[in-house]
Structure 1
């Protein structure tokens, strides 16, 4: 399966290959950033409440910017939007690494979140227009797999590089030096995008849609509703998985990190497997099956305090729930009109982010009061409802398309 998967990747066009190279490079950067940046902020003397404020500002800015980013994506050339937003995003993070002013750090966090959301929203329509219908799931699964695999590499480097600076007799903040060195990866990622070609298809859609008022189609609203429901469920437990393992299961920090690393490896395997599953069952049905299959493992996590059982359940839950992503994204991009794709991705992203933020806060209040079971219960109900709606709205669509194609032939 892996050899066949690699062969499928070799058939991607030039733009997709360059974009995947950028995803891998940025994944390494993200892994380093995720390990080092919080430590850098604390090393400068700030408290965790200010760190939380920075993260919240970035997430809120990204949510607010997602829908306008979708409009930009639908009206202008995707390559130019990607290159411009990625380059500006790289510049925006520099103050985070060199300044110690609270105001500068907050402003830079907001700018980074906004510019990053533009790249994220524009990436999905760009990949869609640069691949054939039958390879779309492969493209999205490859993007997810490479991003996660690279983040594992980056996390390892993030733990290793700070140890090198004292050996080189550099006395500056070792976390700051690591972050400044990682900026090279940001601009290397920008370089990959510069060599991509603009899509004629995107230019045509941009000219047609420039003067039109975009109103959400029924399909966009359906996908947005499903994303909001999943976001409500995810926010209840996902941000607190590390708390779950350390407080409930009584795992050590090392054990928790090892469990998370193993889960990432299994997620990459899931991303590799989903194109073949989607080819057999259809994208909507594959997403529904994998999401529903993750629920028993989530329930097991809610009722067990055994480390081995909880670890196995967590790994399987992460793999099954996340491997549905490429199939769902591919289905979204086929069902939604080309001239509305950017707006749709922005609306879906905003709805999901706001739902995650709200449920994360609510779950924090519940857990602070010692209630760890109710958040898992709410998540199970939300995931089941989302899977049911996805099947109800789109589960039979691919079957009808297959019959129509056969009849036409």
Structure 2
């Protein structure tokens, strides 16, 4: 264990610097929890806010696929800087929003930028690794760094508006601070290399690509299909877990906040130590045990249990799900050829967004009328289908591509 922790600091400086910049990104995203409050204080109706979110979502969906192709064509660093610039611009615009039209424009601009950032962030950090075997570690560390920073950003987002000087709303200064965080991230990534020496040497030995790759391989589509099921499951529960806790157990917002903060920290630990656990001799046992625990916890959460048991199942669900998916997601990206990783990320984001929209509607229907139990039974069934997909399709593809046990 200590050896693994020491090995994290032996990763290339570019990878560590990227992770540091990712934490700024996570803090900014976490602080954005106040955006809806900012919009409401500006006098926008919930309908207007809903339309603005739809503008963002549709932009991400429309741009993700071409963003992935551009990443593969022009490189991850170019795409990252290009997208980050639009993210900064989008949040500056949000700070100056006064009318619905300017709000829609700001959301479109930020959605455009995020599409490029999401399309290249995983391919970029993996391309900075000098050793192929470090790619899964870098992937998992990116997730853990973002998760930890996101929790910190959530706390800052709720505390800073009362401390910073108010603007046209008490949240305006915080919005500009988010833009500053993204701008510093952009500046930091300007100093990163485009790729590692290993990747540069590999590319110099391969034939030059002269055309745009627009049709993904069968391998990539299998991986994207699995990632899509994850997006569906996450969007079905993730945004509503705080509501379910409050309605089922009449807990205060503060209590729920602390409970979810502990859960977030556990997710951070799970993603941090996933590479270590999956390098041990019993990784297959750990992998299947994690998925079994995920299924069991999901099923039990559907029953009427006391709050302490429910919370224990919630923690178990989060830890086991993160452990399994962090390793499988990183392995799928590692198995993808370098010239398809951007396309993989773009399609992954596109299909996850579409699946997320559908699952949000399903969640709204399931929760209608105050039924906060059935949603867990439905999710359990979806997980069972996902297990079938993994065992008979994804697992074999990973074994073929990586020559490793799954």
Aligned to 1:15: 14
* Secondary structure of the structure 2 residue equivalent to 1:108: helix
Aligned to 1:150: 149
Distance apart, 1:216 and its partner CA? 2.0
Aligned to 1:25: 24
- Residues 104-135 of structure 1 deviation map (CA, whole Å, 9 limit, x = unaligned): 11121122112111111111111222222222
Contact 2:89/2:109 (<8 A) preserved? no
Aligned to 1:197: 193
TM-score (norm 2): 0.90
Aligned to 2:36: 38
Contact 2:73/2:212 (<8 A) preserved? no
Distance apart, 1:59 and its partner CA? 2.0
Aligned to 1:235: 235
Distance apart, 1:96 and its partner CA? 0.7
Distance apart, 1:249 and its partner CA? 2.3
Higher mean Cα deviation, 277-286 or 233-242?
A: 277-286
Query: What CA distance in whole angstroms lies between the structure 2 residues aligned with 1:338 and 1:16?
Result: 17
Higher mean Cα deviation, 302-311 or 386-395?
A: 386-395
Distance apart, 1:287 and its partner CA? 5.1
Higher helix content, 1 or 2? 1
Q: Could you say if the C-alpha distance between residues 294 and 281 of structure 1 is closer, same or farther in structure 2, counting changes exceeding 3 Å?
A: farther
- Residues 145-197 of structure 1 deviation map (CA, whole Å, 9 limit, x = unaligned): 1111112222222222222236xxx5752211122133221111011100011
Q: Could you say if the C-alpha distance between residues 259 and 393 of structure 1 is closer, same or farther in structure 2, counting changes exceeding 3 Å?
A: same
- Residues 311-364 of structure 1 deviation map (CA, whole Å, 9 limit, x = unaligned): 221122122212333312321123222211111121122112111111210220
- Residues 187-228 of structure 1 deviation map (CA, whole Å, 9 limit, x = unaligned): 110111000112274665998334154322121121122122
| Unpaired stretches in structure 2, ≥5 consecutive residues | none
Q: Could you say if the C-alpha distance between residues 74 and 335 of structure 1 is closer, same or farther in structure 2, counting changes exceeding 3 Å?
A: same
Query: What CA distance in whole angstroms lies between the structure 2 residues aligned with 1:281 and 1:90?
Result: 45
TM-score (norm 1): 0.89
Distance apart, 1:397 and its partner CA? 6.3
Distance apart, 1:48 and its partner CA? 2.5
1:51-90 alignment to 2 at 5 Å? 51-90=49-88
Q: Could you say if the C-alpha distance between residues 404 and 356 of structure 1 is closer, same or farther in structure 2, counting changes exceeding 3 Å?
A: closer
Aligned to 2:366: 366
Contact 1:267/1:318 (<8 A) preserved? yes
Q: Could you say if the C-alpha distance between residues 369 and 403 of structure 1 is closer, same or farther in structure 2, counting changes exceeding 3 Å?
A: closer
Distance apart, 1:271 and its partner CA? 1.1
Contact 1:285/1:391 (<8 A) preserved? no
Query: What CA distance in whole angstroms lies between the structure 2 residues aligned with 1:286 and 1:130?
Result: 29
Query: What CA distance in whole angstroms lies between the structure 2 residues aligned with 1:59 and 1:404?
Result: 37
**CA RMSD of the aligned region, Å?**
2.6
Query: What CA distance in whole angstroms lies between the structure 2 residues aligned with 1:30 and 1:231?
Result: 18
Aligned to 2:123: 125
Higher mean Cα deviation, 234-243 or 388-397?
A: 388-397
* Secondary structure of the structure 1 residue equivalent to 2:105: helix
Query: What CA distance in whole angstroms lies between the structure 1 residues aligned with 2:118 and 2:72?
Result: 14
| Unpaired stretches in structure 1, ≥5 consecutive residues | none
Distance apart, 1:402 and its partner CA? 8.5
